[in-house]
Amino acid sequence: MNRRDAFTAAMNHEDGAPLFVDFGKHIGSPHLTMYKKLKEYLNTLDFPEEERIIDRMAQTCCVDECLLKEFDVDFRWLTPDLTVGSEEVDDKHYKDMWGVLFQYTGDHWAIVGSPLADAEDEEDILAAHYPDPHNPALFAGLEEKAKDLYENTDYVLGADGLKCGLLQTALQMRGYEDFMCDLMADEDFANALLDKLLEVQKEMWTEFLNRVGKYVQLVYLTDDYGTQDSLLISPDIFRQYIKPRNEELIRHIKSLADVKIMFHCDGSILPILDDMIKMGVDIINPVQTSTESMKDTAMLKERFGSRLNFHGAIDVQQILPNASISEIKEEVRKRVQDLWAGKGGYILAPCHNIGHDIEPEKLTAVFEAVKELRRS
């Protein structure tokens, strides 16, 4: 059975379906500083000399093919050029494709300006700058890459996220405090902005999947609804504003291609997991086990495992920075036992980006533990 057939079996929770391993999407990659250390640590691999940034804001790197093979990663991701439509302001500031202003901190880029901060009504929303979803530069080379990977490998292929989740983008464009107030006090404004963002997203995914849809097996959507110990917005607000629009977006995507939907949502999101399943989500990422409500992975599997697949669960906040090599390997074994146990439904991966507080040997230990489990 090749990887793609096995992936279908694993996502259908078939007995004996293999354990899958992922690494290297635009959320789930090493920070530039860490990647340089990793290349030095694994200096026998044939790395390119220059690192390539995949996400300017987070300063994370594209993971090179030699490392994907070394870690025996089952996925290859087709990532749009997230810099298209951005504007350089000066050497310490840029605006992204949505017009959000970022400032360099010396480690990453932080939001310092929101283009809709002074907007008053729907006319201001419609007059704002939005990315051109039909700009071919967003997806340059991805169709050819997808075709080559599909015809010459058996890797599971994914359409990586466009980094424009509805809530996240609204918060960044409007300003966090102001849009939170809009959700409670100005329903017309909040609906108008979310409708505009949904319109742009649907067109962007149409352009993307018209190019790669016949080659990919899954699509990666991203948004954030959780904090370390609670939801960012209430379940009622989520169900009023966000859930129905995500349902529409997912229906649209699945009408374009035969794909599973993997949804990235950090934090303590247990209260809305049933809602996300009803939205059409097939795989939840990252299963942030450093939060109270998501740390019991055996409970998550028992409660949701017949309706949902899991991706991630290897903690980058406490375990990878602080645990010993043996403790990290034990953590891998625990999450595999809880979420896979020979019945599919789990893709092992770090929960999030790999910061420079994580030593190369500790990241490497994760994938060594997987190889040991696969041999056993």
Q: Note down pLDDT in tens along the chain; length 376 residues.
A: 799 999 999 999 998 899 999 999 999 999 999 999 999 999 999 999 999 999 999 999 999 999 999 999 999 999 999 999 999 999 999 999 999 999 999 999 999 999 999 999 999 999 999 999 999 999 999 999 999 999 999 999 999 999 889 999 999 999 999 999 999 999 999 999 999 999 999 999 999 999 999 999 999 999 999 999 999 999 999 999 999 999 999 999 999 999 999 999 999 999 999 999 999 999 999 999 999 899 999 999 999 999 999 999 999 999 999 999 999 999 999 999 999 988 899 999 999 999 999 999 999 999 999 999 998 8
What architecture does CATH give domain 3-82+115-375? Answer: Alpha-Beta Barrel (3.20)
Which of 25, 74, 28, 26 minimizes the C-alpha distance to 287? Answer: 28
Angle at the Cα of 247 from the Cα atoms of 243 and 253, rounded to 5 degrees:
140
Residue boundaries of the structural domains of the chain: 3-82+115-375
Full 3-state SS string of 248-263: HHHHHHHHHCCCEEEE
Q: What's the Cα-to-Cα distance from 203 to each of 25, 51, 132, 250, rounded to whole Å?
A: 22, 31, 9, 13
Q: Is 132 exposed, middle or buried (0-12, 13-18, 19+ CB in 10 A)?
A: middle
d(CA 92, CA 158): 33
**What is the pTM for the complete model shown?**
0.97
133 with 84: CB under 8 angstroms?
no
State the amino acid at position 30 in one-letter form.
P
Which of 312, 334, 372 minimizes the C-alpha distance to 75? Answer: 312
